[in-house]
Structure formats: C-alpha cells, structure tokens
Amino acid sequence: MERTLVLASTSPYRQELLKRLGLPFETASPDIDESRKEEEEPEELVMRLSLEKAKAVATDYPDALIIGSDQVATIDDEIIGKPGTHERAMEQLRAASGNDVVFLTGLALYDSATGRSHTICEPFRVDFRTLTEEEIDDYLRREEPYDCAGSFKSEGLGIALFSLMDGEDPNSLIGLPLIQLVSMLRENGVQVLGGS
C-alpha cells in the first residue's frame, strides 16, 4: 500500500478493529469540539464529527487517507453518551433495560491530497433483556465500561445484557464499521485482500 493510512482516533477499541485488516496505519488525536448543534439529528451529528475528526489531522498528513469515526447511542431518539461514572452507568442501563438501544456510528474516509471524502452512518440495534439492579451493578463492577457509549462492551461480558442484536456489521457496535471501511478503501485503491 503506497498511501499513508491514518486513524484519526486514539480509541484503543477502534485501533484494535483496524488492526484486523492487516494494513499498516498511524494514529492521530483529533482536537475538535464535539458539541451537538441545535436541532442536529443524531445521524447528522456522527457523520459531521467523523469528517471533522479526519480533517482535523489532515494538516499533519497532506497525502493520506484519513479515517474518522464517531458514535452515539440512542434510546427513543435521545442521545446517551459515555457514562464516565458508576452512578451514571447505572442510570443508563436502567433506561436500557427492556428497551432497544440504537447505536449510530459515523464513518468518514478523507483523502487529504484531493479533499474528497466519503461519509456514512451505520445503525445497529441492540435489544436489552429486562435487567435487575443486581445484574446491572454486577456487570458494571466486573467490566467497568465507563468510557463506552451506552455503558457496555458488546465484545465482552456486555453480551449477557442482550436479548437480540440487529445490524449489518457487528464491528460498528464497537466503533468502526469495517465492512463499509473495506469498501471505501477499495474505492480509493487500497486492497485489503489480494493487494500487492
């Protein structure tokens, strides 16, 4: 692969996902304001932030393909973010109990040499079982998912919270829709399989 590939994220979850593709890449920390604009829909928010993250690191990489991604979780179209604390995580999982939570993951691929970009929003729905206070507390103490939108890690013990998962790419739930990313990279001349 000739072009430099950059992940505009310091998320260890996104880095681990991107490593699965076996392509060399660099990481950079985008410094942007992630505030939601007035009346901005969740889908618009994650797509805008994904592209802004990619563009934010472009000055350091003038000839690169830059990947930006952003994710929100929603219950009844209300955004729930990263809890940060045990108490807030308890509140989030109480709200999720017996409900479905839709995760919206924005993905942008930005070509810093040409200024062209491709941005999508990948939805993924998770139906939660009805959870007891004891189950919620035990889960949070064991996994401590306080830096994860929605207060769980689907790739870990969080799977025990669900009754159903519905979406095209389970990787999007972790934070990077790899199926769409492979397609975007291919359109930009980067072959994950069969390339030189």
Burial (0-12, 13-18, 19+ Cβ within 10 Å), 166: exposed
Q: Does 70 participate in catalysis according to the annotation?
A: yes
pLDDT at 135 over 70: yes
- Say if CB 186 and CB 126 are below 8 A apart: no
**In terms of residue numbers, what domain contains 122?**
4-187
With respect to residue 193, please indicate whether it lies within any of the assigned structural domains: no
Structure tokens at 3: 């072009």
With respect to residue 175, please indicate whether it lies within any of the assigned structural domains: yes
Q: Which long-range contacts (CB under 8 A, 24 or more apart) does 169-175 make?
A: 169/122, 169/124, 170/124, 171/17, 172/71, 172/103, 172/105, 172/122, 172/123, 172/124, 173/103, 173/105, 173/124, 173/126, 174/13, 174/14, 174/17, 175/11, 175/13, 175/14, 175/17, 175/69, 175/71, 175/105
The pLDDT of residue 91 is 95
With respect to residue 19, please indicate whether it lies within any of the assigned structural domains: yes
Which of 34-38, 102-106, 140-144 is least confident? 34-38
pLDDT digits (tens, 9 = 90+) for 16-51: 999 999 999 999 999 898 888 988 999 999 999 999
Number of domains in the chain: 1
With respect to residue 194, please indicate whether it lies within any of the assigned structural domains: no
With respect to residue 34, please indicate whether it lies within any of the assigned structural domains: yes
Q: Which residue among 33, 70, 76, 111 is the active-site one? A: 70
With respect to residue 73, please indicate whether it lies within any of the assigned structural domains: yes
46-to-42, 74, 167, 175 alpha-carbon distances in Å: 6, 12, 17, 11
Residue 97 sits in a domain of what CATH number? 3.90.950.10
With respect to residue 111, please indicate whether it lies within any of the assigned structural domains: yes
pTM of the model: 0.89
